[in-house]
Amino acid sequence: MTTCSLVTGASRGIGAAIARELAAAGHRVAVHAGRDRAAAERVRDALPGTGHLAVTGDLSDPETCQRVVAEAVEGLGDLDVLVNNAGVFQAHPIEVSSYADWQQAWRTTLELNLLAPANLAWLAVEHLLHRPAGPAGGRLISVGSRGAYRGEPNTPAYGASKAGLHAMTQSLAIALAPHGILAAAVAPGFVQTEMARDVLDGPSGDAVRAQSPFGRVAEPVEIAATVAWLATDAPVWVSGTVLDANGASYLR
C-alpha cells in the first residue's frame, strides 16, 4: 500500500531533498512551496515514481493550512505522513534591533516555524483519526534545530520557535501513541542550503564549518535521509525522539 506524504517548504534545500528521499522510498509526495509554484512543480516533476503533487500557500495563515492539507489529501488520495519543514531564519539581535523590527521578527518566525506546524499537525491528525480505515499508523515529523538547545543570539525567535517545535513533538507523541501515530523530530545544525549561503560564504563560514569535527556542514541529503527513516522505517518505539543530526557540532 502506497504511503502518502506532505512535505512543507519542499521547493528547495532540505525540503526538496526530503521529497526526493520519500519518493525514492515509494511514497507519493505533495511538494509544498510558500509562493513559488514553478519551483514546487520542478521538484515534483523530477521525483521518481508517479502520483506526486505540487501545492502552494502561505502557511502562516490557518485557512491556507486547511486548503493545503485538503489539496494534498485529494491529490494524493490519502495522507499518512506530514513533514513540517517550512521555516524562516531572520536575524534580529536584541542589542541592535528596533522595537518594531524585534516584534516583527518574533511574530513572523513564530507564525511560520511553530504555529503553522501546530495547525498542520491538527489537520493531519483530524484526517488520520477520521479516515474510513482508521489511523493505521501515521507519522508527524518536524525539522527542528540544534539552536533550540545551544541558543541563537542573533536569531532568538528562531531558537525559541524550534524549542517549541521540539516540545510540541514530544507532547503529541504522548497524546497520539494510543492511536498508533508516531511523532518525532530532527535537529540539524548548519546545512549547505540557500538559506545558509550568506553565513557559509561569508567571513564566519570557516568557523561554522569547524564547529563539526568533520570540518564541514551537512548536505541536504544527509538530513533528508534521517527524516525519511523516521517517516518510513523507524520503529514506533522512537516516537517522541528529537534526533540530533548536526555532525557532532553540538552534543547534549
Active site residues: 145, 158, 162
Which three cell numbers mark 193?
A: 542550503
Alpha carbons 35 and 37: distance in angstroms, whole number:
6
Return the DSSP state at 13: H
Q: Judge residue 194's burial from the number of C-beta atoms within 10 Å of its C-beta, 0-12 exposed, 13-18 middle, 19 or more buried.
A: exposed
Which three cell numbers mark 138?
A: 501515521
Alpha carbons 59 and 166: distance in angstroms, whole number:
19
**Strand-pair category, 28-33 with 4-7:** parallel
The 81-84 sheet, strands edge to edge: 53-56, 28-33, 4-7, 81-84, 139-143, 182-188, 242-245
Please identify which residue in the block is written with the cell numbers 536584541.
94
Alpha carbons 214 and 247: distance in angstroms, whole number:
7
In b/e form, how buried is each residue of 27-54, taking b as 16+ CB within 10 angstroms? bbbbbbbbeebebbbbbbeebeeeebbb
Alpha carbons 118 and 115: distance in angstroms, whole number:
5
Which three cell numbers mark 128?
A: 488520520
- Are the C-beta atoms of residues 157 and 115 closer than 8 Å to each other? no
